[in-house]
Structure 1
Amino acid sequence: MTETYTVPDPHRRIQPPRRRVRDRRHNGLAAVDFGTSNSTVTLYDPNLPPPVLPLPADQRAVLSRAVVRLLRSEPQTDEISDLSAGQCRAEWDTLRARLGRELAGGSPEGLADALEAEEGTHQALLYDVLLALEAAQAGGTAPFAAWLADRLHRCYDEAFGTPALEHYSLFPVRLDNATLRDEVPSRLDITAVDPDLVVRLGRPLGGGAALASPLRGLKHQLDKPEFRHPLHGGARSVELEPLLGGAFAFLLDRTDEFTGAHPDRLDDAPIDHVVATYPTMAPPAVRRRLESVIGGLLGVGEVDLRYDEAIAAALFFLMRDLGANHTIGVEALRARFRAVPGAERHWIENTLVVDVGGGTTDIALITTHLHDETPPMPDAPAGSTGRHYRVVPRLRGTSGRSRRGGDFLTLQVFHLIKAMIADHLLTLPHPGGDSFPDEPETWADWQRDTTAALDPIHQTEDGRYRPGSLVAQAQLALQRDTSVAEPPTGQRSRDNVELVLGTRTAGRPDDPETAARERAFSDLWDLADDAKIGVAPDRAYGLPADIVEDIVRKVIPVPGSLPPGLGTELDPLTYEDFEAVCRPMLVEISRLAAALARTRLTGGERLDRVILTGKASRLGLAAQVVAREVQAGQGPQGRPVQVVVERKYAKNAASMGAAWAASMSSFDTAEPDEELLRQGATSVSIEVDNLLLDLPCTLSMRTPSNQNRALLKVGTPFQELPGGRLRAFATIGLLPKLLVILREVDGGQPLPWGTFRWSDLSLRHTEETGVRLDPQVWPRQIRCGIEADGGLDVHLLLWRGDRPVHRVDRTSAALRTPTPEGGFLDLDRLADRILVAGSPSAPARPALRGEPAPTRERFAGEDGMLRSALLGRIPLPPPDEDGRWAFLLHDEQGHQQLLGRLEAAPGPLVPHLASVDEDGVIRVHAGDPPLWTAESPIDVEHHPGMVYRHPLGTPKSETDDHDNPFDGTH
């Protein structure tokens, strides 16, 4: 039998396979947080209702383990306020012995063992133990009762601080089969390219199965569409979007495997609805690229990118605080929140969420409103009814910093340790030039030649290396202000260290020496990451000699044996040195967080809580610096701010919050059910989508005076259009030849968000159509404005004339007022006479007049004819039960004449407006009427008022090259 092999086409674009959803699709969704260092997926699966248990399984397990630890512990002297620790221990021993006999039929140790054994069985022993411990407080001495109450409250806090995931049908997906963990390193290996691209995320592959160098930090390349990753041999490379597609395909395949492994409780159909989070400060092109990859390249049917990482993390904590039992959770919120002065039954809390991830820091300021909207029930006995609460989170602003996260801290430690090893190599004692007689180059020669290549500040007068100088130079360079560009001295420091210990691969050929450098970088990076986690105020981190020697062997140019003692005399990394190089970045992001709170909370508002999450938040130094800087940002009279550090779900918070929000947004807002309220039930309405209805930042334009002009300010409400699209619009004025739109960052440098150059538009139009735009019109007579959507994608709107024209459908439902004698209508007088009525119980009111006043517009019909009109700016009242409004005309004699009824436009319940044009035609619009749009800029020349929408160009990233740890320059 002869096999036929197909030779791969070197010019064929390498792409991942499309997902195949055949007979049916999964009923839920997968929320994917593709991180710089690690990735997580949370599955929402409504296949089965959650089990009805006294306590959700996740919280019960945590509570059980906490109580077991309590039973096995002893009161410590520092826990007892009046130094009666001995008496407390005696009371505790007596109580445990009694409970062991009564509840477990044995010793105190047997009680803890029995409680530990029944953790997953949902038996009653845990609740019996808790009831007994609560009751025992009343019979003990005051010091013992206080100690036991404090320890029990810690157990409860730990349990209720655990999100009730299964109650919400949320499941963390097991992604790393080797470690059985629900997060996987984002390190990427390419395992196949023909016929389709296949990648694997996780720890290194063995056996040389990868077809290219391992790729770390792919997320750093999201804003670099030109990125390519070469395959071994250099003849072919894989582009950015296929690499992203391969990574998402891996995560979704793992999710399908997870559902398939649990068919008894999960829907095992393929996932076809993906919610993807993205960095808060990522430009709009990144969001579009992710949507194109997941939906277009992989073929996923439904792609949701509404939640950036800051908002997703904030929603996780709202979910956690509400808990499984909303009746209890909402009362706990009310107890913690502050009453709004002058507002009855209204409470708020201002929370700052700082998510310090692997590659980015994402910050969100949330004000959560709690309204008691229980309807009056005068015939019900006082205190017998339940309550109806409405939870409304409001986004006050977002901020953050790309390339500022745990990886940047590791990079700081990496450069310090690299300098320490280089210094060690140049000062390592050696037996002399005759030590290695069989080798062409001795260690002494290498030290002398290497030192000669360094800057003079590292050399003594006789040409020897100046001990400690490389480390001192590195420390000075690393202790800089990270909010500004690095000075040249930082590059010089790294260049000097690189001459001793070469780990850079950028620009080098694909050969064995480059591969060895790559492995040395990877080993040194892992060593720096371990050191970052292992060092502590009372514990220095010793650099393992065997790892140091292995790194040196990969790149040192001296062949054969190395001098004895390599790595054994290397100084450890002290906490003081670690703090000195890591504190600047933590100060930078903390000041961004403090500035966001300071600028958005005005008029006496105060910050109530700071929640620190993300993998880097586990460092004690991070919490310390954030707490200090945020407190300083509150001013000298500010109240102490509570700082909460999320440790257990630090990495999963974004994917869990996004999954919960997407699942909750599929439910309609709950209205009070008076019958249930009469029975004493409490109902809660949670409006998660409210977070998306305000502009999260200020968009401005750069001016020649360098005083940026704010166009759309943070907090500007989006207008919801039919179809669910969100829009905010601002007029700029005459079209400039160059326009740069910026995203303002409180406490930081503004980010270029979009660019427009008139000459580019003119040239492109001429090339595509062969028609030149009229230079007498462009740009002299063209006006412009910007339009931002819910994803902060910005378009430039271009029109000729004073104002854009709106388009109306002349065949849609409308009413006509009687034509006056002479045929002339005075729009202003007519607007005074038009009334509207909705609910039969509400009186008629002016349909157009009010505050704000109506605006004068122009309407264009399908025939292109323009008509003057007045557009009301006050929303119409609620319609009647049929969804219609009655319009009346107040005539000259004071009578009200019914003109007819108009119904609401189908779609979302957006505010409706009324208009009347110069022909006396009354219309109802869902928000602003749509604009009269043009297909080409040439139409704008010939039809004044017609609007051409032009996407803004993507500005060049202004991040420092050295901030990317994985670009081969380190």
Structure 2
Amino acid sequence: MSSEDPRPPGVGRRIRPGVRRFPDRHGGLAAVDFGTTNSTVTLYDPYRPPPQLPMPADQRAVLCRETVALLRAEPADDELATPRAGACRAEWAALRDRIAGDLTGTDVEGLVEAVESDEAAGGGLLHRVLLALDLAQPGGTAPFSAWLAGRLHHCYDTAFATPALEHHCLFPVRLDSAIEAEEVPSRLDVTAVDPELRVRLGPPLGDGTPLASVRGLKHHLDDPAFRVALRDDDRTLDVEALLGGAFGFLLDRTDEFTRAHPDRLESGHVDQVVATYPTMAPPSARQRLARVLTDVLGVGEADLRYDEAISAALFFLMRDLGANYAIGIEALRARFRPVPGGQRHWIENSLVVDIGGGTTDIALVTVHLRDETPPLPGAEPGTTGRYYRLLPQLRGTSGRARRGGDFLTLQVFHLLKAIIADHLLTTGHTGADQLGEAGAWREWQDTVTAGLDASCREDGRYAPGRLVRQALGALRRDTAVPEGPAGRRFRDNVERVLGTRTAGVAGSPQGRERTFGDLWELAERAKIGVAPGRPFRLPADVVQDIVSRADGVPAKLPPGIGGGPLELSYAHFVEVTEPMLVEVSRLAAGLARARLDGADRLDRVILTGKASQLALAADVVGRELAAGSRRGEPPVRVVVERTYAKNAASMGAAWAASLASLGAPDADEELLRQGATEVAVEVDNMLQALPCALSMAGRADQGRVLLPAGTPLREQADGSLRAFATIGPLGDRCIIRREVDGGQPVPWGVFRWSELDSRLAESGASRRLDRRLWPRQIRAGIEVDAAGNLDLLLWRGERPYLRIDRAEPAPRLPAELRGDVADATAHADRLHVAGARETPPRPALRGVDAAPASRETFVDEHGETRAGVLGVGALPPPGDDGRWGLLYRTDDGRDHLVGTLSAVPGARGPHLVSLDADGVVRVHAGDPPRWTTDDPLDVETHPGVVLRVRLGAPQLDADDHDNPFDGTH
């Protein structure tokens, strides 16, 4: 890296990480999932094509592991379901011994070792072992045969459920080579700030105090005011610097990973980055992340098309397809439902719920499978291949910020804190009291009790168990609403006993930081370790270490501290964690109910993310979805992803970006005649419609929906995808909200007229906005793109004017056909186009549903305007030469060839036709661009010119109970 700031280090110089500018650039891309708790990176490296193996290496490794586990397994009684379990175990032992002797001449353990070593060398022993087991299975006794068949199926299912990453040229980056880990904690240590910022992600090293430490940085993605103070330094670090340091660290580790594997990976520094982000992150947060990558780090190409919900959904599509698309597509066709009345069309509706460390991200996806094999004249029936199109359609997304595994841990944290505090106030000093230790301990307890809320005391003394009951009462609240006074009162009471807060606390925070960290790690262990019938016992040594740092506690603790039945029961665990799981489950169910109509249904639910590993999560999600299902519907399958719960987002994003860069292949007639199966996976189809409704806040909090969910995004002249809606006149301010099915709307963008005048003043302009025109005569609309960016469009007049280029050649209607009619609408029904041979001529300006052309005003490069009309329907496919014939139909029904229209080279979207009052006919790739300006004053003097204003970041209401790492817990 290199730092480009020539100023010397010190005050006045912005602290920034080094800029990533290198002469050698990697030819692939890196998909980065910077998480709240952990982070992963997946590298797409097409440097060398994957080896053509009967079974991909990833899946073969899993099959070997599962087979070894099977060879070492002993059938349990409950697995066999027979009173002769002992005989079955003897049968299994005899079969293993025979296979071991036949294949290796050793015992079972020798066979296992031989399989593992032979597999590492690429041998075929694994295949011979499985073949022997498959052949022996039907000949066993019925109970044993059933058990072995089930275990063999499990081996195969687990192997084929493993994504064939290397086949797709995808490589999980090893971020911690010391422990060979593919994920790294997102905890950040600042190790240097001069001459440039350097950070490290991971657990504390214990080799010195860093300049600053940050946990949960991702919580502040939409908080531009967030700052971190440096130790022994007057300077602070802003959120963009910290994010740049974190992404720089992950990309440096990716570069090290490529250099460590020169035999299979391309050398060079990664310069194309696909970054995932929370689904509910507002546009301002996404724009900040893009700035970090391109402006702060200097990355050449930053791709933010895929949020975490979309990325996770695409991962499961990749996994289901497998390495061999010809086999995978047939498996999907067998699983999918045929569309009623649709020829060779199948679908499946999947709800993906990603409960990560800091957020929950939800996507509802309908995957369409279409058999679009073209006619192959002369081919023998049954001898040709098939051409399939796989189109994932995003029906909607939802989610909840600050609702994930960290929030569950925070709930457990507060309950454990109350349990320990109650333990401190109820444990007496029972040891020898030679130095007055018992009195000192009672005095400390009395002092602390006196500072508690009156609800915790009876007759001036602490009421045993009261803090725990208060905790349970507050923590079982509905997490969809902000925490009430009772919750804050309970937390304040517990804090007076056991201090873990650092925000606003005088003195050195290091002791409290350590207490918080120890208690947090204990809550993480308890969350994982507690189970039905198995309470989590708090280790006495950990409890003693925690309480020894309580404010004012005597140096000599009573002998009973940390002992006794100090534990977290599973019932209490459910009480404090289930409310959050209910909240996010209702959001998922609300999304499914809102997007699926009465004739459609949900086929499966996929749970992923770290927190989804809790058995309670699957139970709650299944229960909430079942509560809203229609009578007679089959139960929805709930699938929990365990192996790739954290990696799914980065893997899915990397796979999608790689496919998008290659494009979807058209049907190859020659390959089809040879019997090949072709599959076109069109991942970009996920980005063709708005995943949520956007509304404008009105009086009494009544929202006016401007763009409904599912609104198609239309391709523009610059190739971008956008949707537009007219608002009309604006009031003093405009607040755009994202609607959330089953939840509260979220502010998405805000605009105030005063900000526009302030920007004009800052630009140095001598004039100000004419208050006679602004805002009374100004009209507005909103435009949203595929990345969720929101712009406000401002203009005078009824509609924005559309920009045309008179220098481009375009046919003109002959004067004898135009007559004296200057209104272009008079000719709209007479114009037809003829394209490909198999499609008959059709109206050029009307849609297929007979929708009339829209009246528009066109303006050229000289500012001259003319009236006209713009077609609303896409043109049919052009002819083989890429052109359409333009026909004019006269009153007698005859068509006259006026000229030809050429398709715009490289355009993927629909082509439209326009006609102006001068009789000029033009073809446009997507919607024609609007006539725009960067100067607000032009709007006053030029009706129809559009000023585009990026909506500002809304002020989000954040409950301090949501962020575990802000120092208030």
Report the TM-score range of the alignment, normalised by the length of the smaller protein: over 0.9
> Residue 489 of structure 2: which of 481, 487, 492 is its match?
492
How far apart, in 1, do the equivalents of 2:130 and 2:347 lie? 33
Residues 414-469 of structure 1: per-residue CA shift (max 9 Å, x gap): 00001111111111111599654499x811111101100001111111x1111110
How far apart, in 1, do the equivalents of 2:8 and 2:716 lie? 52
Structure 1 counterpart of 2:730: 735
SS at match of 2:932: coil
**Is 2:601 aligned against 1:603?**
no
Residues 700-757 of structure 1: per-residue CA shift (max 9 Å, x gap): 1111143211111111110122333110001112222221110000100000011122
How far apart, in 2, do the equivalents of 1:847 and 1:417 lie? 71
**Is 2:542 aligned against 1:547?**
yes
Structure 1 counterpart of 2:167: 167
Q: Which runs of 5+ in 1 are unaligned?
A: 1-5
Structure 2 counterpart of 1:888: 887
Residues 194-251 of structure 1: per-residue CA shift (max 9 Å, x gap): 1111111101022324112x21000011111111111112522111111111111111
**Superposition pairs for residues 29-178 of structure 1, below 5 Å?**
29-80=29-80, 83-178=83-178
Structure 2 counterpart of 1:640: 635
Q: Which amino acid aligns with 2:138?
A: A
Q: CA deviation at 1:572?
A: 0.7
Q: CA deviation at 1:678?
A: 2.0
Q: Which amino acid aligns with 1:833?
A: R
How far apart, in 2, do the equivalents of 1:597 and 1:121 lie? 49
Any conservation in 2 of the 1:81–1:143 contact (CA below 8 Å)?
yes
Any conservation in 2 of the 1:436–1:442 contact (CA below 8 Å)?
no
Higher mean C-alpha deviation, range 90-99 or range 516-525: 90-99
Any conservation in 1 of the 2:168–2:655 contact (CA below 8 Å)?
yes
> Residue 452 of structure 1: which of 450, 455, 462 is its match?
450
Any conservation in 2 of the 1:913–1:926 contact (CA below 8 Å)?
yes
Identity value in percent: 62
Residues 228-284 of structure 1: per-residue CA shift (max 9 Å, x gap): 111112522111111111111111111111111111111121111111100000001
Any conservation in 2 of the 1:362–1:399 contact (CA below 8 Å)?
yes
**Is 2:188 aligned against 1:188?**
yes
Higher mean C-alpha deviation, range 597-606 or range 742-751: 597-606
Structure 1 counterpart of 2:525: 530
SS at match of 2:795: strand
**Inter-CA distance 767–137: structure 2 relative to 1 (3 Å threshold):** closer
**Inter-CA distance 484–12: structure 2 relative to 1 (3 Å threshold):** same
SS at match of 1:128: helix
SS at match of 1:672: coil
> Residue 657 of structure 2: which of 656, 662, 666 is its match?
662
> Residue 591 of structure 1: which of 586, 594, 606 is its match?
586
Higher mean C-alpha deviation, range 407-416 or range 958-967: 958-967
How far apart, in 2, do the equivalents of 1:681 and 1:370 lie? 17
SS at match of 1:815: coil
Q: Which amino acid aligns with 1:785?
A: G
Residues 316-360 of structure 1: per-residue CA shift (max 9 Å, x gap): 111111111111111111111111111111111000000000000
SS at match of 1:492: helix
**Is 2:785 aligned against 1:789?**
yes
> Residue 799 of structure 1: which of 795, 801, 812 is its match?
795
SS at match of 2:701: coil
**Superposition pairs for residues 714-725 of structure 1, below 5 Å?**
714-725=709-720
Higher mean C-alpha deviation, range 534-543 or range 441-450: 441-450
How far apart, in 1, do the equivalents of 2:268 and 2:431 lie? 70
Q: Which runs of 5+ in 2 are unaligned?
A: 1-6
Structure 1 counterpart of 2:466: 469
SS at match of 1:816: coil
Higher mean C-alpha deviation, range 731-740 or range 607-616: 731-740
**Superposition pairs for residues 11-30 of structure 1, below 5 Å?**
11-22=12-23, 24-30=24-30
Q: Which amino acid aligns with 2:646?
A: K
TM-score, normalised with respect to structure 1? 0.96
Q: Which amino acid aligns with 2:128?
A: D
Q: CA deviation at 1:66?
A: 1.0
How far apart, in 2, do the equivalents of 1:68 and 1:535 lie? 30
Residues 586-635 of structure 1: per-residue CA shift (max 9 Å, x gap): 00001100110111011321101111000111111111111111222223
Q: Which amino acid aligns with 2:18?
A: P
How far apart, in 2, do the equivalents of 1:583 and 1:490 lie? 17
Any conservation in 1 of the 2:497–2:550 contact (CA below 8 Å)?
no
SS at match of 1:483: coil
**Inter-CA distance 301–141: structure 2 relative to 1 (3 Å threshold):** same
Structure 2 counterpart of 1:211: 211
Residues 627-676 of structure 1: per-residue CA shift (max 9 Å, x gap): 11122222343321111111111011101111111111111211122222
Q: CA deviation at 1:892?
A: 4.2
Structure 1 counterpart of 2:3: none
SS at match of 1:666: helix
Any conservation in 2 of the 1:231–1:237 contact (CA below 8 Å)?
yes
How far apart, in 1, do the equivalents of 2:467 and 2:437 lie? 31
Structure 2 counterpart of 1:701: 696
Any conservation in 2 of the 1:766–1:773 contact (CA below 8 Å)?
no
**Number of residue equivalences:** 959
Structure 2 counterpart of 1:504: 501
**Is 2:610 aligned against 1:615?**
yes
How far apart, in 2, do the equivalents of 1:725 and 1:69 lie? 51
How far apart, in 2, do the equivalents of 1:206 and 1:620 lie? 34
**Inter-CA distance 78–431: structure 2 relative to 1 (3 Å threshold):** closer
**Superposition pairs for residues 910-921 of structure 1, below 5 Å?**
910-921=909-920
Any conservation in 1 of the 2:429–2:560 contact (CA below 8 Å)?
no
SS at match of 2:829: helix
**Superposition pairs for residues 843-922 of structure 1, below 5 Å?**
843-850=840-847, 851-922=850-921
Any conservation in 1 of the 2:119–2:125 contact (CA below 8 Å)?
no
Structure 1 counterpart of 2:925: 926
Structure 2 counterpart of 1:835: 832
How far apart, in 1, do the equivalents of 2:952 and 2:716 lie? 25
Residues 903-938 of structure 1: per-residue CA shift (max 9 Å, x gap): 122343110111111111111011221111122222
How far apart, in 2, do the equivalents of 1:241 and 1:763 lie? 25
**Is 2:567 aligned against 1:567?**
no
Structure 1 counterpart of 2:4: none
Q: CA deviation at 1:107?
A: 3.2
Structure 2 counterpart of 1:3: none
Structure 1 counterpart of 2:478: 481
How far apart, in 2, do the equivalents of 1:570 and 1:218 lie? 37
**Is 2:805 aligned against 1:809?**
yes
Q: Which consecutive segments of 4 or more residues in structure 1 shift more than 6 A?
A: none
Residues 27-80 of structure 1: per-residue CA shift (max 9 Å, x gap): 111111101000111111111111121111111111111112222223333234
How far apart, in 2, do the equivalents of 1:102 and 1:129 lie? 10
SS at match of 1:247: helix
Higher mean C-alpha deviation, range 649-658 or range 555-564: 555-564
Any conservation in 2 of the 1:806–1:858 contact (CA below 8 Å)?
yes
**Inter-CA distance 706–353: structure 2 relative to 1 (3 Å threshold):** same
How far apart, in 1, do the equivalents of 2:304 and 2:445 lie? 55
How far apart, in 2, do the equivalents of 1:881 and 1:795 lie? 39
Q: CA deviation at 1:182?
A: 0.7
Higher mean C-alpha deviation, range 104-113 or range 731-740: 104-113
**Superposition pairs for residues 263-342 of structure 1, below 5 Å?**
263-342=262-341
How far apart, in 2, do the equivalents of 1:947 and 1:483 lie? 40
**Inter-CA distance 907–70: structure 2 relative to 1 (3 Å threshold):** same
Any conservation in 1 of the 2:811–2:920 contact (CA below 8 Å)?
yes
